[in-house]
Amino acid sequence: MLFKKDISKELKNEAVSLGLCTEWTNEWGNPTKEELVDKYVQGIDFCIEHNYPSCEYMKKHFDGVMQKHGVFVDEEIDLKNAPIVIANGKTSGKIVYNSYSVGTIYTRHDSDLTIEVSGNAFVAIETYDNCNVSVFQRNKAKVFVYNHGGNIQTSGKVVVKNRKAPN
């Protein structure tokens, strides 16, 4: 149990040093590894902005737990209708959405994903860093890509919105 507390304390101290807001700092508590992964997902904007925690740290301390929450680091994935996917490091693979499924995908670092969206599915994709994303839209599916960085290839009716910071 002490091991989990040390990880939590270590992550909290690092987050505070990166500028974690008072509200999140005060509500940190004594989370389990599962709850820490939930915090990562809920605070994904902060985590992406600060590249926190590192891929190495996540792999070392959360492998086997993070995947249950849609978080992947340096893995080969093959997913269907996942509500949330956060692809870090060199994660690669395929994600399929169909029927009336809804999903949100964050693809970062050097991830390489193929995303197929069909039926009446709705998917939002956030791209960062040097990722490669190939998006295929069919039927009445709605797909929005928010491009913060990376390489995007599309087929079908895919709306791409540039979010890159001006140089």
Q: Is the pLDDT of residue 160 over 90?
A: yes
Per-residue pLDDT, averaged over 143-164, amounts to 96
Kindly compute the dihedral angle of the four CA atoms of residues 65, 68, 69, 73, in this order, to the nearest 10 degrees: 60
Residue pointed to by tokens 């040093």: 17
pLDDT, tens only, 30-82: 999 999 999 999 999 999 999 999 999 999 999 999 999 999 999 999 999 99
Bridge partners (DSSP) of residue 132 are: 112, 151
Task: Give the distance, in angstroms, between the CA of residue 41 and the centroid of all CA atoms in the same chain.
Answer: 7
Of the CA atoms within 13 Å of residue 117, those in its CB half-sphere come to 33
What is the pLDDT at residue 5? 63
Provide the H-helix boundaries in 18-87: 22-26, 33-42, 44-50, 55-62
- Give Dmax over CA atoms of the chain in angstroms: 52
- Residue 16 has what DSSP assignment? H
Percent above pLDDT 90 for the chain = 94
Q: Is the pLDDT of residue 126 over 70?
A: yes
Give how far Cα 125 sits from Cα of 53, 77, 83, 133, 159, Å. 21, 16, 12, 9, 10
Give how far Cα 23 sits from Cα of 18, 33, 40, 125, 134, Å. 14, 20, 15, 28, 38
Per-residue pLDDT, averaged over 111-131, amounts to 98
Percent above pLDDT 70 for the chain = 95
Q: Which of the pair, 18 or 2, is modelled with greater confidence? A: 18
